[in-house]
Amino acid sequence: DTEVTQTPKHLVMGMTNKKSLKCEQHMGHRAMYWYKQKAKKPPELMFVYSYEKLSINESVPSRFSPECPNSSLLNLHLHALQPEDSALYLCASSQDFRRLGNTIYFGEGSWLTVV
Amino acid sequence: AQTVTQSQPEMSVQEAETVTLSCTYDTSESDYYLFWYKQPPSRQMILVIRQEAYKQQNATENRFSVNFQKAAKSFSLKISDSQLGDAAMYFCAYRSTGGNEKLTFGTGTRLTIIP
């Protein structure tokens, strides 16, 4: 089972709403990632969790709040977003963050529209 | 900072023909990995092929092969016998040690397959 599952696939939210994106993997991976991808651009790393601890925060605004409840789950809590935050949010996982050759598996993403 | 450059925003190829996508990168590291990912319209990033910098032999995965020129910092992807399912955005990516374990993507090449 080489799947990273993301929900919801589509989300429309107002600037005052609070919502969450969810990600799940059952491959026993200990590294999980959030990427943001704007149209026609490459993915940009937001956060990395390694062994359930936040390892990297790429200077992401605090209106994005990641959470890793356990090694299989990764959430991204959204609050007071701006229209420019509209993008595809990709979750990914790999066996170990420090092993460079490990395959990073991606989910299909959650399309977020902020109105 | 490491950079990855893909100079071809778009490419097209006749079905069953061969196409080469180019990628160059800039690094001062000696230990690193290079990857090609494809992102079809389904949006899921899928690993196509990987190359470890220490290995001189070019990686091959079925119809996909790379031409890795370490001194020139070049990493091109050759797709043989192109199929309609190969149509996608292709991203070249880089990972290294020393705080650069995150995956750095190029800007992507959109590949169209002409029936």
Query: Residue A56: phi, psi to the nearest 5?
Result: -135, 130
Q: Which residues of B touch A108 (CB under 8 A)?
A: 42-44
Residue B100 has pLDDT above 70, yes or no: no
Mean pLDDT (chain B, rounded): 93
Best residue in A32, A100, A105, A106 for a mutation probing chain B (most B CBs within 10 Å) = A100
Euclidean distance between CA atoms A92 and A76, whole angstroms = 13
Residue that wins the pLDDT comparison between A75 and B28: A75
pLDDT > 90: what percent of chain B?
A: 81
**pLDDT value of position B30:** 84
Residue B1 has pLDDT above 70, yes or no: no
Sequence-ordered list of residues with C-beta below 8 angstroms from that of B55, at least 6 positions apart, any chain: none
DSSP, collapsed to helix, strand or coil, labels residue B84 as helix
pLDDT per residue over A57-96, tens digit each? Answer: 999 999 999 999 999 999 999 999 999 999 999 999 999 9
Contacts of A48 in chain B (CB under 8 A): 102
Q: What is the pLDDT, as a whole number, of residue A18?
A: 96
Q: Is residue B102 within 8 angstroms of chain A, CB to CB?
A: yes
Q: Is the Cβ of B53 closer than 8 Å to some Cβ of chain A?
A: no
| Among B110, B94, B89, CA closest to B45 | B89
Tell me the nearest-neighbour CA distance from B71 into chain A, angstroms: 20
DSSP state of A83: G
Q: Is the pLDDT of residue A56 over 60?
A: yes
Q: Is the predicted pLDDT of residue A2 greater than 70, yes or no?
A: no
Q: Inform me whether the pLDDT recorded for B89 exceeds 90.
A: yes
Query: How many Cα atoms are found within 13 Å in the side-chain-facing hemisphere of B76?
Result: 13
Residue B96 touches chain A, beta carbons under 8 Å: yes
**Which one of A43, A90, A100 has the shortest CB-CB distance to B33?**
A100
Q: Which residues, numbered 12 to 41 in chain B, qualify as contacts with chain A under a Cβ-Cβ cut-off of 8 Å?
A: 31-33
Taking the CA atoms of residue A50, residue A54, residue A58 and residue A63 in that order, the dihedral angle to the nearest 10 degrees is: 140
For residue B53, the model assigns a pLDDT of: 92
The answer on pLDDT for B69 being more than 80 is yes
Minimal C-alpha gap between B80 and chain A (Å): 23
